[in-house]
Structure 1
Amino acid sequence: MSEISAQLICSALGLGALLLYALYLPLVLLYKHYNSSFRDLPGPPSTSWLKGNFPEMQESENTIFYKKWANEYGPTMQFKVFFNMSRLYTADTKALNHILHNEYIYHKPRITQWSLGRLTGPGLFYVQGDKHKFQRRIISPAFSPGQLRGFSETFSEKAEELRDIWASQIEVDGNVAQVDALSWLSKMTLDVIGRTGFHYDFHALSPEGNANELNKALSIGFHAATRFSIWLMIQSVLPVTRWMPSSGSAQLRKAKKTMDRIGQELLQESKAQLMTSGKKLDTWRSKDLLSLLVRSNMNADIPYRQRMSDEDVLAQVPTFVFAGHDTISSGTAWSLYALSLHDSVQDSLRKELLRVPTERPTMEDLNSLPYLDAVVKETLRFHSPAPETARVAVKDDILPLNTPVTDKNGIVHREICIKKGQHLLLAISGVNLAKEIWGEDAMDFKTLVIQTP
């Protein structure tokens, strides 16, 4: 058989498989739609057979759930996504508790797991089940209160550096300036995570503004891995399509190669220093999270076969960055925004902070500031950095409800039958802004609950 004939046969087989799948997919979608245990639950009407409620969700950045739909349909409802497929939204506290405590039943969706895995590898946010528990057990000692307390000096140092940058900008602009707080806070957070996470300087706050190699790779990789497209959704569901290029895939591979190389260097440095100095090493270098993780993983009490592989340890480097980078910077930006709208809260907080006798407060100093603690907690309630998360059932289950749901047929449900493969949206902000929990003013920044010092 000639090479050309073989290519034609392969092409014909590939085209045939594609056509077969094109016929198979609609049948699967129709079966799932009419067999869904969510289809009779209350929920907003679909505005598009192709996109479902997705346009409204996208336009409102999902706030439509708790700003409008929760008032109409309650804390648990169905909504439609692509091809009018039903999904379950819940802010029911009993349901959320059940889902989050049954990680062997409810996993991260494939698109979330695959998107993260392309960038981080088998890190804590990617793995599930027993491997997740295993990694968490190894990593936990690095996040003990005593270890985190040692990072306060870096927090203060970088906060002062950012303060001086803003003060300089304001002075140059005639004491009145418009500052992009989120952009600068993102840079500061990256510097903090680099220093405390793996003793690496990103120089993100550098006045020259020149991002170093790892900084650039992380930025490119993050945007490429989190970019949304229909094709990426298809690739996440159908592994056979992943060999085909997608938007940003070449950039992601290049960025991942850089991150792996630099991460491997950092890992080997940590191992070498630990082996040279012993487990009782007490220098600053040993107090970053990566070194503490390496130390925990090399503990003689852990059998060799139960230790994390170098690949698993290496995957924690980008995981450390993405776990805290966006959430911390956006949470702090929202705090500043909330304070700008409430002068009395801002004044009271300033008075409490000015009573601290040093510009480099310890964790003990910060823990002794009740008004600061109240402002931070109220900001996290009102402006949650992670407003929702998604799960998919990997086996059938019964989901208990705190608030019963009356379906379209008038039947009251105190529990919902969950079928394998069904998707759920867990509404963190839905709980944080629920009037049943926080009162009729739940949608307001509750300054009254922040007691004046």
Structure 2
Amino acid sequence: MSISLYLLLGATFVISAWALKLSSERKSASSVSKLPVPPGASFLFGHEKTVFYEQPGRAFRNWIEKCGLTYRIKAAFGAPDIVVLGDPMGIEYLTQKRIYDYHHSRVVRPRVGRFLGRGLGWVEGEDEHKRMKRLINPSLSAETLRTMAPDVRDAASRVLNDMSQVLEANNGAIKNVDVLHWTARAALNVVGRIAFLYDFEGGHGEDAENILHGRRRGVTPMARYTGFIFLMLLRRFPILNDLPIPAIQAQAIARLTIQNGVAREMIRRNKDFVDKHSKDLLSALLIAYSENRISLEELNEQISTFVMAGHEATTLTLGFTLWELAHNQEVQNRLREEIANWPGEPTYDDYVSGLPYLDAVLNETLRKYPGLAYMERVATKEDSIPLKEPITLTDGRVVNSVEVAPGQTILVPIIAIQRLDSVWTDGDTWRPERWLGDRNPTEKMWPGYANLLVFGSNGPRTCIGAKLAIFVYKIVLSGLVTRFRFEGTGEELALGIASSLQPWLKDKTEMGPQIPVHMYAL
């Protein structure tokens, strides 16, 4: 079926959507219906088309200036209004105190299942989520990561050595290299080695190539206008998740590559040789499987979840860092000097707290380029979300909470919050120095790692692999800046949302996500 026919199908559904509009809003809580709402909503697309066409977070920042930290926007195709929550007390309440009462939305959860698998990030319900966490936590603890440091370094060095060889073959310089090509291979190679006892051959083996190619095919359609249309239709008509629509099916390519190939091979090689004292994630999962605590299906789902999530976030954070370093030579030189002057190889604990400028570079990149740009949740029961900043409703009342009904969608615009000029002064500027000394802005910020929202606000559903991701990032980036120098290409980068925050060359989304720089051997 062609795209035009799918759009025609969508238009047919839209007509029925308007007929159902009144009934779909019948349970809307009174305070939600009276929240401030920005002007300019489209009759058909609400405010969501504006969100799509603006750079990520820009529309929400503009609306925060007009309406305050908490307001509502009109959803596309007559879906109920969406509560936009930027209030720090409200976010803390939702993510730390009541997160199990707020599930992934019916747009987000199926997408998580397609991209990653039905693992820890997909599951709902306190009991089931805590059961999975107990299974996985020991493999990602600080104690375990300390023992993994040599393997992380070796796996990263495999890719760094490949980069050095390519540069040597090109007289020490490569123009317009897509650094995501290399950061993806480094991150995947490390995750394969330390978590799953699997060799991705420096990211150049057939399995690695299939996973990385599948991921690009999955995210690219979502950056297009047709991808936006489908996303909005999925919110209004979740049944579309089950139809054979190519743009939706493409999101599962990388996951299915893992589950139908890599995961099976990992299990075959290791299931009869598991050491119960091993701390890697695969051994923990195989032991649980052998003891009938998890099914074969869950084993596969957890493997795909952690292979995908384990390398994707690190890939992009490294890529955005190299883009900024290429355009900030003084920062690049200062970072290189801090790492080069460290006596010997830094240990895990050295990376955790001994390299303050490296920390500042990481924090600033996570602030400006959060992998999860927006968090979308749906209330499962009636609730009252407390607010730090009172809001004036359209009827003139001033309130300190928002009353929500079951089914209410709540969106936390993470990237907008983390770029607010009212907090950061120069929110769009990448400036690691803001994290050093007296200028450190953390007292003003929201709950979470470094008082950012990138890992889920330190609540029960915070990213379980955050320590590992940070450790891998620091080792790989340290190797990159001490071996190579990066410069800008003069091209302009555009951002878009395709499940996670993705980079494209401006007006060239058809080429897929990429971050071009010039790279030189030192």
What is the Cα deviation at residue 128 of structure 1? Answer: 0.8
Q: Which moved more, 1:234-243 or 1:365-374?
A: 234-243
Aligned to 2:513: none
Q: Residue 285 of structure 2: which of 293, 297, 319 is its match?
A: 293
Q: Distance in 2 between matches of 1:349 and 1:200?
A: 32
2:357–2:432 contact (8 Å) kept in structure 1? no
What is the Cα deviation at residue 41 of structure 1? Answer: 1.9
Please list the CA deviations of residues 301-348 of structure 1 after superposition, one character each: whole Å capped at 9, or x if unmatched: xxx6xx222221221111112223221111112222333343433332
Q: Distance in 1 between matches of 2:321 and 2:215?
A: 28
What is the Cα deviation at residue 446 of structure 1? Answer: 5.0
- The reply on whether 1:321 has 2:307 as its aligned counterpart is yes
For residues 188 and 221 of structure 1, do their structure 2 counterparts lie closer, same or farther at Cα, with a shift above 3 Å needed?
closer
- 1:227-266 correspondence to structure 2 within 5 Å: 227=222, 228=227, 230=229, 244-247=243-246, 258-262=257-261, 263-266=263-266
For residues 291 and 313 of structure 1, do their structure 2 counterparts lie closer, same or farther at Cα, with a shift above 3 Å needed?
same
TM-score (norm 1): 0.79
What's the secondary structure of 1:265's corresponding residue?
helix
Q: Residue 105 of structure 1: which of 80, 101, 107 is its match?
A: 101
For residues 34 and 295 of structure 1, do their structure 2 counterparts lie closer, same or farther at Cα, with a shift above 3 Å needed?
closer
Aligned to 1:13: none
What is the Cα deviation at residue 392 of structure 1? Answer: 0.8
Aligned to 1:420: 406
What is the Cα deviation at residue 421 of structure 1? Answer: 1.0
2:48–2:76 contact (8 Å) kept in structure 1? yes
Aligned to 1:311: 297
For residues 135 and 184 of structure 1, do their structure 2 counterparts lie closer, same or farther at Cα, with a shift above 3 Å needed?
same
Gaps of 5+ in 2: 1-9, 439-522
For residues 64 and 39 of structure 1, do their structure 2 counterparts lie closer, same or farther at Cα, with a shift above 3 Å needed?
farther
- The reply on whether 1:273 has 2:273 as its aligned counterpart is yes
What is the Cα deviation at residue 418 of structure 1? Answer: 0.7
Q: Distance in 1 between matches of 2:256 and 2:428?
A: 45
Aligned to 1:127: 123
For residues 349 and 111 of structure 1, do their structure 2 counterparts lie closer, same or farther at Cα, with a shift above 3 Å needed?
same
- 1:21-100 correspondence to structure 2 within 5 Å: 25-33=17-25, 36=28, 37-84=31-78, 85-100=80-95
2:18–2:77 contact (8 Å) kept in structure 1? no
Please list the CA deviations of residues 7-47 of structure 1 after superposition, one character each: whole Å capped at 9, or x if unmatched: xxxxxxxxxxx9x9988643332334576443432232244
**Across the two proteins, how many residue pairs are aligned to each other?**
415
What is the Cα deviation at residue 254 of structure 1? Answer: 7.5
Q: Residue 406 of structure 1: which of 385, 389, 392 is its match?
A: 392
Please list the CA deviations of residues 93-141 of structure 1 after superposition, one character each: whole Å capped at 9, or x if unmatched: 1111111131332000122211222454431111111211211111111
Q: Distance in 1 between matches of 2:75 and 2:249?
A: 29
Question: What amino acid sits opposite 2:284 in the alignment?
Answer: L
- Calculate the aligned-residue CA RMSD, in Å: 3.4
What's the secondary structure of 2:385's corresponding residue?
strand
Q: Distance in 2 between matches of 1:398 and 1:35?
A: 15
1:122–1:311 contact (8 Å) kept in structure 2? no
For residues 74 and 23 of structure 1, do their structure 2 counterparts lie closer, same or farther at Cα, with a shift above 3 Å needed?
closer
1:106–1:394 contact (8 Å) kept in structure 2? yes
What is the Cα deviation at residue 92 of structure 1? Answer: 0.9
For residues 160 and 56 of structure 1, do their structure 2 counterparts lie closer, same or farther at Cα, with a shift above 3 Å needed?
same
What is the Cα deviation at residue 238 of structure 1? Answer: 5.5
Please list the CA deviations of residues 229-258 of structure 1 after superposition, one character each: whole Å capped at 9, or x if unmatched: 655765677576666421156767786665
1:170–1:177 contact (8 Å) kept in structure 2? no
Q: Distance in 2 between matches of 1:232 and 1:441?
A: 32
For residues 327 and 404 of structure 1, do their structure 2 counterparts lie closer, same or farther at Cα, with a shift above 3 Å needed?
same
Gaps of 5+ in 1: 1-17, 281-285
TM-score (norm 2): 0.70
1:389–1:427 contact (8 Å) kept in structure 2? yes
- 1:196-211 correspondence to structure 2 within 5 Å: 196-203=194-201, 205-206=203-204, 211=205
Q: Distance in 1 between matches of 2:413 and 2:245?
A: 31
Identity level (%): 28
What's the secondary structure of 2:201's corresponding residue?
coil
What's the secondary structure of 2:410's corresponding residue?
strand
For residues 235 and 426 of structure 1, do their structure 2 counterparts lie closer, same or farther at Cα, with a shift above 3 Å needed?
closer
Q: Distance in 1 between matches of 2:165 and 2:305?
A: 33
- The reply on whether 1:117 has 2:109 as its aligned counterpart is no
1:392–1:423 contact (8 Å) kept in structure 2? yes
Aligned to 2:425: 440
2:71–2:85 contact (8 Å) kept in structure 1? yes
Instruction: Give the number of the structure with larger relative contact order, counting CA–CA contacts within 8 Å between residues 6 or more apart.
Output: 2
1:399–1:417 contact (8 Å) kept in structure 2? yes
- Structure whose CA Rg is larger: 1
